[in-house]
Amino acid sequence: MNSTFAIVDLRDGVRRDITPFLLTNDAFPILENAYLFRGRIERRSCTTAVGNDGRLKGNIGTTDGAGDFTLPDAAVSPIPSATATFIVNGDTLTDPGGASPVTLLTTGATTGTLNRATGVLDTNAPAAAVTYIPGLPVMGLTVREQAAINDELLLAYDTRYTYLFDQGTNDFILQNTFANNPANTFVWTGTDSDFFWSTNYRSAYWVTNNVAGFHAIQTASPVVEGDGIRWYGTITGAAPTTGWRNFNPAVSTTEFLNGALIIIPYKDRLLTLNTLEGANLGTTTRFPQRARWSQNGTPFYSAAPDGQTAQADAWRSDIVGKGGFIDAPTSEVIVSAEFVKDTLIVYFERSTWQLVYTANETLPFVWQKINTELGCESTFSKVPFDRGVYAVGNYGIITCDSVNVLRIDQKIPDEVFMIQNKNNGVKRIYGIRDYNAQLVYWTYPILSDEDKEAVTYDLTFPNQVLVYNYLDGSWAEFDDCFTCFGYWQRFSDITWAQLNRTWESSNFSWNSGVLQARYPDVIAGNQRGFVVVFSQLQNLGQNSPSIPIANIAGSTITATNHNLMNNQYVLITGVQGATGYNNNIFRVTQATLNTFVLDSGTFGGLYTGGGLITHVPNILIQTKEFNPYYQNGDSVRLNYIDVLIDRTTSGRFDCQFFTNSQDSVPLETSTVLTSPEPSPSYSSNQQRIWHRIYCNTFGSFFQNEFLMNDAQMKDLNITTSNIRIHGLVYYVSPSGRISYDL
């Protein structure tokens, strides 16, 4: 007897807490590069560059009369191999790797060598402007408040420099000069796991990366030389200057606050958590359980910005009524903090506390424990909501409402244990909330993904994004390599030229709010200094480039810290010299830390630089194991499936069929067209079309996987087509008694 069942209004998402045959019909063991959104399956949106090309860069000066220039960051540590790129006289100079000094590849007449140890760039272009693209990991994307409403400034950080996104040039520009000496460049210190925490408070913009030495940013304020604040901004006067100043206030007659993991305003005081203190930067001691605060009224101990005052003893804890501190009664380390309403939740490694305001000027704050078993291991995994703070902890993804701490990841209870611990893996987890798409994203490193593809080298940076639909409580995963997230408000509307897709594949209204200026986009930075828009409602057709190519030798690509896995797909563009590689999609094979091999094609010509890699993500949607008759002891035969999908011009993907709880070798494979069928002709005018998939599959259970095959992945017209599945209708019949040998 034939019967049907429909799967519509999909809400459950990824579930791995029970076996696939027990799942609800709208649950999926695997939902990769797709997610559930308002009752349907959406293919994840692609990324687009922030500004011109999304690369953190800066004009750092001009070469001297001999064509030489010395990079300031070499004084901190040697420049990494095969990462730096320079633009001199309009030509791109690329470090291809190898011994230093290294001869740089060039796209034009300008030639040069780079000594990575000394930072000397030697070119044949005297008195030429030098644009430096360090290619270092993005370590923060923070927002500086402005006086105008809905008009904030975006600042980005790598491990050495600060960059401001400039409205006039639509690009990032270097912003690391001293306030008292603009001719000198300030270089941050810190590793590729020391991210930047920022806060806006009392006309100042405060930043710390958990390294000894505080940093603050202010504008339009006279500064007294030697006030100790390192800031970035404009100093008024006869000769306006910009820059940073260090901030290390005295906390006693001999000790100073030299840094902290977290800096946050609380009850009209500036509060620091997990502090670094000492007589000087060379004798700094960490106090990992400490909360230290300034006096009520001002945190400034020397010069203050306009409208603010300063008091030299503002942080002194040995003077009653000024600053102070309190250590939590635990040996665990403070990891993160965020507000729930007017309460500051502080996450330790394996417990959760709150710092309670007492209104007592002598001791304004005290510690209270909320939970003794659930904490947080990742500082930037915290995501605030009105009724709780999400965070990634040691035993699960949790939420705290200031009274209770609960896990929210019971559908995927083992996922946190898959996160890589080595190479500071837990420090690298970074979260953010996408308000418009109503999703939360966490980027994290994982050694083996859902389709059992394993990393074949020593992984450092995150290679996956965990996606949480907080309205439905559904989960999904994206294959992306991001180090951090942030928000950005573009200065102008998106133009058609900026949309990397065809008119036919554009399934949004042209007057959509997501395309307008000042729209609050979610952005992400990666391990090679690229910043991209990541908002899921953009629905762009193709990712923007995100990995520079250092060298090409036959089918072997050198790309430092590419973070790609075998069997992922990449699009190559911008190659100079060996131009035959351009605009082709390849499958990644033999991946190592800094190289991989293309699965096909070796093109002639000598690579001279300029090449970029774009990740082309494939979907993998695996359904539950279906058998509506198993309670009667019957096996099931699947006759055909109807799929309701959005119409595109040339899109398609495969549907594979599996039986009897095995998902390695499909019994059948059919192609699902998202373009109109040849007949009936009226389907070409429909926004949504039905596609029927015929099959002859039977067994104890059947299961489907939707993905694109190799040929489809290498066709740009197909990979840039949208995939949106509104529903599935299965036509089935019983097929005899369940047998052990099916």
Separation CA 54–CA 172 (nearest Å): 8
Whether 510 shows a pLDDT value over 80: the answer reads: no
Cβ-based neighbour number of residue 493 at 10 Å: 12
- In this structure, what token pair is assigned to residue 408? 């929210």
**Per-residue pLDDT, 230:** 42
pLDDT band per the 50, 70, 90 thresholds, residue 239: very low
Query: At 433, which helix (H) or strand (E)?
Result: strand 430-434
Whether 506 shows a pLDDT value over 90: the answer reads: no
- Of 228 and 724, which is predicted with more confidence? 724
DSSP string, 360-410: -SSS-EEEEEEESS---S-GGG-EEETTEEEEE-SSSEEEE-SS-EEES-T
- Of 349 and 665, which is predicted with more confidence? 349
**Per-residue pLDDT, 238:** 41
pLDDT above 70 coverage of the chain, percent: 88
Whether 114 shows a pLDDT value over 60: the answer reads: yes
Q: Is 107 left (phi over 0), alpha (psi -120 to 50) or beta?
A: alpha
**Per-residue pLDDT, 1:** 67
Q: What are phi and psi of 354, to 5 degrees?
A: -130, 145
Separation CA 207–CA 117 (nearest Å): 29
- In this structure, what token pair is assigned to residue 213? 């030495």
Are the C-beta atoms of residues 559 and 550 closer than 8 Å to each other? yes
Cα angle 247, 250, 252; round to 5: 160
Q: Is omega for the bond preceding 384 within 30 degrees of 0, making it cis?
A: no
What are 7-58's pLDDT values in tens digits?
A: 999 999 999 999 999 999 999 999 999 999 999 999 999 999 999 999 999 9
Separation CA 493–CA 503 (nearest Å): 18
Strands (E), 450-609: 464-469, 474-478, 484-489, 520-525, 531-533, 547-548, 551-553, 556-558, 569-573, 584-589, 595-598
Residue with token string 């900026």: 498
pLDDT band per the 50, 70, 90 thresholds, residue 305: confident
Contacts of 58 (CB under 8 A, 6+ apart): 131, 132, 161, 163, 172, 173, 174, 175, 176
Separation CA 132–CA 218 (nearest Å): 26
Strands (E), 72-119: 85-88, 91-94, 102-103, 105-106, 112-115
Dihedral (CA of 535, 536, 537, 541) sign? positive
**Per-residue pLDDT, 216:** 61
Contacts of 731 (CB under 8 A, 6+ apart): 2, 3, 4, 638, 639, 640, 641, 642
**Closest alpha carbon to 709 in 640, 653, 657, 626:** 653
What are 617-649's pLDDT values in tens digits?
A: 999 999 999 999 988 899 999 999 999 999 988
